[in-house]
Structure 1
């Protein structure tokens, strides 16, 4: 089966579109999986939760409850509330805009924290981002000095985040070979495929390789609060909330 075209890779604000049904499969738990030729639904990954929403055609309506990426194909998982689709049907897709915006705000906030740490002179290497509301954190390969004042560091990170958000830079998307990303990014993951374009997301001139969804203006994040900083085993975890 053909790979799914990921429309959100080029446009974060596209929340409605038409698509063609390639397959409908029933799961053991009585849910169905709908596979389309293209999608606006973000599949969980990269530290960001999946989108939810609806897919419709005439009298048929499918509630998208979960979205997964499997071998290049997006699986839209959920329940049919009315009717059913067949392969070849043209359907209309709608993403839950409120959920998408919340997830995008948290994801963008994680990268704003990356920027704040750079401004503070921290040479911490990002290792993991978990941008789930209520449990969000960034994790870095780093060590904290024994005399580190965590409360002051948390305050300083918040202040740098406030400054960057107040500048309200626009978000742009560029595709380029990994080898060129070092011109825009402090840290480029080693596992990115070489020799083909990857996506770079820029807040103004601050860039990061990323496949998630983001706010188009940083002011949409509003306020980042640093909840806790924890160091263990050569890693530092910075927990935050909005």
Structure 2
């Protein structure tokens, strides 16, 4: 099993690892700080470096033997058993972290509506809500920017599958269910423990404080069905 270091430290930009397997489909490591594509968040990119070579990582995806660090076209593969330095494309990751946390803030502004879909992007992200009529985009932009500027702490903790079953209202997503099977589920909290701005299961990476997000603008609202409203947002900087 690959140790997923980003779960305990989303700010780890570089680390050492050992190559367990390598092929054209990707490289499996014993540990990694690269996020594995899932839940609407893209997989991380960066570089693997070893004595005598390096490989550009074009994506990180799920594989049968563990996360696959997908090589860019024409890239050399590290030898099995080699020690490698994993260098994360930090600027890209941090922007995705800002986006992802902003999307949690958006959920907090539309309480009670299930999330039917979503996609985190570098330039623009979207969330789909099971909702008859969303708030005005100007109001959403104003509230999102204010929540970000309030510099709320973003923390996480783990609960058991049974605890989640006892609190089904924690799950906002209708199309993507929290990952189960390990016996525990990660909860991401924005704000104070006693009165959080947002609290929901999530396996993605987030900023430590909402002040890192910066101004947020909702650029477009779309009607994608009888009860499906799509909200697009962008970040400054």
- Measured against the shorter chain, the TM-score band is 0.7 to 0.9
Count the aligned residue pairs. 225
Distance (whole Å) between structure 1 residues aligned to residue 226 and residue 35 of structure 2: 33
Name the CA shift for 1:25/1:72 in 2 (closer, same or farther; >3 Å).
closer
Q: Please give the residue correspondences for 1:23-38 in structure 2 after superposition, counting only pairs within 5 Å.
A: 23-26=21-24, 33-38=26-31
SS at match of 2:136: helix
User: What is the CA–CA distance in structure 2 between the aligned matches of 1:94 and 1:71, rounded to whole Å?
Assistant: 23
Equivalent residue for 2:151? 168
For 1:128, the equivalent position in structure 2 comes to 117
Matches within 5 A, 1:26-105: 26=24, 33-71=26-64, 73-79=66-72, 84-105=77-98
Q: Is the 8 A contact 2:145 2:217 kept in 1?
A: no
CA deviation map 1:75-95 (0-9, x unaligned)? 111149886522221111110
Shift of 1:72: 5.9
SS of 1:73's equivalent in the other structure is coil
2:182, 2:80 → 1: CA distance?
35
Q: Is the 8 A contact 2:59 2:71 kept in 1?
A: yes
Take 2:56 and 2:182, find their aligned partners in 1: how far apart are those partners? 39
Unaligned stretches of 5+ residues in structure 2:
none
Number of the residue aligned with 2:18 = 20
SS, match of residue 92 in structure 2: helix
TM-score by length of 2: 0.85
RMSD: 2.5
Q: Which residue is 2:210 aligned to? A: 218
Rg bigger for which structure? 1
Superposed CA offset, 1:31-54 (max 9, x none): xx2111111111222111121111
Contact 2:114 2:172 in 1 (8 A): no
Distance 1:139 1:208 in 2: 16
1:155 and 1:82 map into 2 onto residues whose CA distance is 46
- Aligned residues of 1:59 and 1:82 also touching (Cα < 8 A): no
1:211, distance to aligned residue in structure 2 (A): 0.9
Partner of 2:99: 106
Matched position secondary structure for 2:78? coil
Structure 1 pair 169/91, CA: closer, same or farther in 2 (3 Å)? same
Mapped to 2, the partners of 1:65 and 1:209 lie a distance apart of: 28
CA distance 1:59–1:72, change in 2 (3 Å)? closer
- Indicate the SS of the match to 2:215: coil
The list of structure 1 runs, each at least 4 consecutive aligned residues, that deviate by more than 4 angstroms after superposition, is 79-84, 181-186
Gaps of 5+ in 1: 28-32, 145-149
Distance 2:168 2:33 in 1: 27
Match of 1:156 among 126, 129, 139: 139
